[in-house]
Amino acid sequence: MRPVLDLAEAATGDAAALRRVLMGPLVALTLSATREIERRASVRGWADALEHAGDRVRPVAMLLAAPGWATEQSAADGFWHLWTTLPGLVRLALDDAGDRRALSSFSQALDRLRERDPAAGLSTYAAMVRSEDFEAEPLISFRDADADRVTLTTLHQAKGMEFDVVFIADAREGVLPDLRSRDSLLGTRHLSPNLSGDDRAYSRFRIQEERRLAYTAMCRARARVVWTCTVGAPDHSGGAPSRFLSLVAGRPLDAAVQGPEEHSTPTTPRDAEAWLRRRIGDATLPAAERLAALGALATDDPWRPRPISAFAGVLAPGPDSGLLGPSPRLSPSQAEAYATCPRRYAFERLLRISDGGSKYADLGALIHSVLEVVERTAVGAGADHGTIEDALAVLSAQFDPAAFDGPPWADSWRARAERILRHLYACWPGKGPAVGFETAVEYELDGVHWVGRVDRAEQREGGIHIIDYKTGTSVPKVDEAAGAVQLGFYVLASGDDVTGAEFWYPGDAPGKRKSVTVRSFKMGRKPEVLAAMLAVQRGVLAEEWPTTPGDHCERCPVRIVCPQWPEGREAYS
Ligand code: SF4
């Protein structure tokens, strides 16, 4: 229910609710991706920011662009609108029986609301839920009697129950006690002759009421009560610890509240991991430090996280060194990344801080894999190349809709893959029998190893011709490709038999062009490629990570820690 109510609140312009939607189960964006949208929204407005935030956010953008489903339609009709337009909502219900029952119960509640008040929309319902705090009721009804499990409930709903251990979470001022100025939906304040109409007297009454509520909650425990309080949360909702904490502890607040034990230098792997997790969750820290903590946790070996001070651009200004391992290996794709922006290269390739992979890259990897299987099989059977029928069969076997966000998005990605393969096989640009697929190649340059993989090698003109498949739509100019470092590296690394190298672009206007776009390397430009590789190699070995601002910054996932931009400068202050 929570994502639906958040969406309804977001439709009324509530930015915090929209943030919860973006980071919640319906969209599941990372914190940095959400920050990027917010940054763009602050300059160009929400409509523009959401429109440009990618496929995952597009359904939400469309819903917020026409919010009548939340503000004008009845709550039940608004919910039905969401159900039929948001694939993520259906997926939530399909994936989890608990969510399915909660959504079913929720829709019944909305039906009852429509009978009572047909004009009340989802946004009205969300406001009622927020003020009355009755959303946990369906959760309680799903609780198995005597089950050994955690029960999530509100303080009100816990009345009459007993548990071995009770956690009273997030005991902050404003939450417990909750002294928001409000009246009950039932208007009991005005109905009861015992309640004062005087606001100050009513406030005192409310505090007593909240205190009784806290006492009741504590008495639910047979063995132990644990109070927790968050003063810095990822959604910036931190606040002062509840006044009840000192009452419960019988000591002043400072003495009653114990922060998590902090080691200046974690002494065990568990200490280190807990320390990093706390930093990620502490909204009072600069974004760069939290991102760096995330990067450290995401390393391949979580039991040996690097100290925060080892990360470039974090904490105090200083040398950006210590990022390279003892014997670095380079590749043409690394060279391309370094040439575009050394700073971004350091963040993404060495510190592994990024938003994660893109669906375009996943599609490219899938098509490469399909082509490898089809072409190996075809050449093994004596043919020069495979057929579209074989390729579509292998695509069917390898395509995993879940990896492409399920239908309808996955259908669209699959159709795209099919278009690319159909175009490739309808206008096959090969000119000889294949002699190698996905062949690993290596080249040593001044003691540094460069590595890569050749997609396809053909026998042509008495030698070997190298082919690299490109599934994107962006085709370089003829002159750029003629001096491409990637093709030049393959030529250098594949020996003296190589007579040429080229890129194939089957993703360039498939179905419209009568041939597959091909871009060839000019063999006379090998010295130029060597010079470019040496320049990258020297820059990387010297750990030079300057920024190179340009159009590419617009979609750079590490911009929030880039010193070139205001949002990243806090990392260097
Ligand atoms: S924002 Fe631009 S300059 Fe900064 S790291 Fe990213 S690509 Fe480089």
Mind listing the pLDDT tens digit for each residue in 25-84?
888 888 778 888 888 877 777 778 888 888 888 888 888 888 888 888 888 888 888 888
| DSSP code, position 378 | H
Count the alpha carbons within 13 Å of 158 in the hemisphere toward its beta carbon. 21
Q: Which residue has the higher pLDDT, 93 or 167?
A: 167
Q: Which of 338, 341, 554 to mutate to test the pocket of ligand 1 (most atoms within 8 A of CB)?
A: 341
Residue ranges covered by each domain of the chain: 1-132, 147-259, 359-533
Residue 371: name the closest of 280, 249, 455 by CA.
Answer: 455
- What's the ipTM? 0.99
Q: What is the pLDDT of residue 365?
A: 92
Helix (H) or strand (E) holding 490: helix 485-493
What's the length of the chain? 573
Ligand 1 centroid to residue 546 C-alpha, Å: 9
- Domain 359-533 belongs to what architecture? Alpha-Beta Complex (3.90)
Is there a contact between 64 and 51 (Cβ–Cβ < 8 Å)?
Answer: no
Helix (H) or strand (E) holding 498: strand 498-505
Rounded to 5 degrees, φ, ψ at 543 are 55, 50
Class for domain 1-132, per CATH?
mainly alpha
Atom of ligand 1 nearest to the CA of 552: 7
Q: Which residue has the higher pLDDT, 228 or 505?
A: 505
Ligand 1 centroid to residue 340 C-alpha, Å: 9
Most confidently modeled of 69-83, 316-330, 349-363, 499-513?
A: 499-513
Residues with CB under 6 A from ligand 1: 341, 343-344, 547-549, 552-553, 556, 558-559, 562, 564-565
The CATH T-level fold of domain 147-259 is Double Stranded RNA Binding Domain (3.30.160)
**Segment 281-306, tens digit of pLDDT:** 777 778 788 888 877 777 656 555 44
Q: Which of 32, 555, 556 to mutate to test the pocket of ligand 1 (most atoms within 8 A of CB)?
A: 556
Give the C-alpha separation, 218 to 251, whole Å: 18
**155 in helix, strand or coil?**
coil
DSSP string, 3-39: HHHHHHHHTTT-HHHHHHHHHSTTT---HHHHHHHHH
